[in-house]
Amino acid sequence: MTQFQKSTTVHDIDAENVLASMLAHLREHDLHALQKDNAWHIDYANTQITLQARENSLQATVQSVSPSSLYEGRMLVFYHIQEFSQCEAQAIQWDGDKIELQYPPSFRVVTVAAVSNIGPHLRRVRFRADNLSRFESNDNIHCKLLLPQTGVENPEWPTLAANGVPQFPAGDKRLDMRTYTIRRINAAEGWFDIDFVLHADAGPGSGWAGQAKPGQQIGMSGTGGRTAPARRWMLLAGDETALPAIARIGESLPADTMGRVIIEVQSASDQITLDMPKGMTVQWLHRGNAVAGTTTLLADAVQSCNIPADDSRFVWVGAEFATAQSVRAWLRHTVGLGNKEQLVVAYWRHGMNETQMKKMPAKLASSKTEGQEAGS
Ligand SMILES: Cc1cc2nc3c(=O)[nH]c(=O)nc-3n(C[C@H](O)[C@H](O)[C@H](O)COP(=O)(O)OP(=O)(O)OC[C@H]3O[C@@H](n4cnc5c(N)ncnc54)[C@H](O)[C@@H]3O)c2cc1C
């Protein structure tokens, strides 16, 4: 099988310490390195990474079966060396096979094919794009959308610097990044749907969706983020931002799944038809005139649930930060659910845009690949 290879040697860093910190960090993410012949070897998604510390330099070699997986291995090495050594990006240059990629492999330019309203505050946009198979997985249903500024007719897209690092357009051509759920996808037919909440105080995501028209182009990258694994008993809960994820997770569950679905929306007119297993009861909560993200409606409803002491149960919640925080604390400390039995993600934060939310200190809001898993 063809192997592609690139190597880098980063000089003038505290190589032993950087390597130790990297290995410890990767272990936390279930990437375990094996030591052999004075080097550390990691297997990562069809990619072999070798790391070796020599006095003040750290050498990394990445080998992989395809240019795109080689690129992802290189970026894993790049971002971790940079994070733990605090070196400049230019200090990490690569030698090896000549592979020219136009964009990062996780990036696509996607074109609006159709726009429809599936509720007064929920707009579905169907996008068309080639080569969507990496996005078609029920395990990773989230993506980042890269949204051009209003009125920009010919957007510019991220390019790759010589060392592989994505370079984003700046100024009027800058792209705002927002996180969304791929509601439906058919890679063979080349389309996917995103359901956008049209919310008050619209930011780049909601604002873009409000004016979306067939033919417009945006960028997309991903996928990322965990979802809910199928279990015998499930609780799925969230507000309208989580409705696309809840609908998609529900559709993929075995027909004999038992449990509950709790969704907060503004009013009955925001309710949509869900295709859930028969044994999962669906409850809609209406916040009426209250401002989204300011009530305890959803947290109260979740916390009044009787979570069975079943060894096959899972609770998934996507909601505003304060709700997510309160629910997660309850699940952990009152119900006693372990990390493998629940996933609570802050999908947005009242009074903060997504960029500000992601910049919150780790202790206040530990930022994962997607949204934030609310601290307890
Ligand atoms: C993993 C993940 C998946 C997501 N999937 C979806 C999805 O499929 N569909 C979807 O619509 N959203 C989804 N979201 C939520 C979405 O990313 C946020 O709502 C995001 O803030 C929207 O960006 P924006 O540019 O519209 O607003 P921002 O610029 O981020 O924020 C502007 C202002 O609007 C407020 N705001 C943000 N969201 C809301 C809201 N829902 N209601 C009221 N005020 C709000 C903010 O507090 C801020 O004051 C998801 C989030 C995560 C983390």
152-183 per-position pLDDT tens digit: 989 999 988 888 888 899 999 999 999 999 99
Q: DSSP string spanning 183-196? A: EEEETTTTEEEEEE
DSSP H or E stretch at residue 85: helix 67-85
Task: Output the residue whose Cα is nearest ligand 1's atom 51.
Answer: 347
CA 160 – CA 63 distance, rounded (Å): 19
Lowest mean pLDDT among 22-36, 115-129, 191-205: 22-36
Q: How far is the CA of 204 from the centre of ligand 1 (A)?
A: 9
Are the beta carbons of 264 and 282 closer than 8 angstroms? no
Atom of ligand 1 nearest to the CA of 209: 26
CA 316 – CA 298 distance, rounded (Å): 13
Nearest alpha carbon to residue 200 among 268, 287, 297 = 287
The CB of 119 under 6 Å from ligand 1? The reply is no
Nearest alpha carbon to residue 125 among 216, 254, 236, 16 = 216
Mean pLDDT across 317-335? 97
Task: Output the residue whose Cα is nearest ligand 1's atom 52.
Answer: 347
**Which of 347, 349, 366, 367 should be mutated for ligand 1, with most atoms under 8 A from CB?**
347
| Tens-digit pLDDT profile for residues 283-309 | 999 999 999 999 999 999 999 999 999
The CB of 105 under 6 Å from ligand 1? The reply is no
The CB of 270 under 6 Å from ligand 1? The reply is no
For 178, phi then psi, to 5°, come to -135, 150
Task: Output the residue whose Cα is nearest ligand 1's atom 8.
Answer: 181
| Tens-digit pLDDT profile for residues 34-91 | 999 889 999 987 899 999 999 899 999 999 998 888 998 999 999 999 999 999 999 9
CA 52 – CA 290 distance, rounded (Å): 57
CA 196 – CA 146 distance, rounded (Å): 14
pTM above 0.85, yes or no: yes
The pLDDT confidence band at residue 209, using thresholds 50, 70 and 90, is very high
Task: Output the residue whose Cα is nearest ligand 1's atom 38.
Answer: 348
Atom of ligand 1 nearest to the CA of 291: 43
CA 308 to chain centre: 29
pLDDT score for 173 = 95
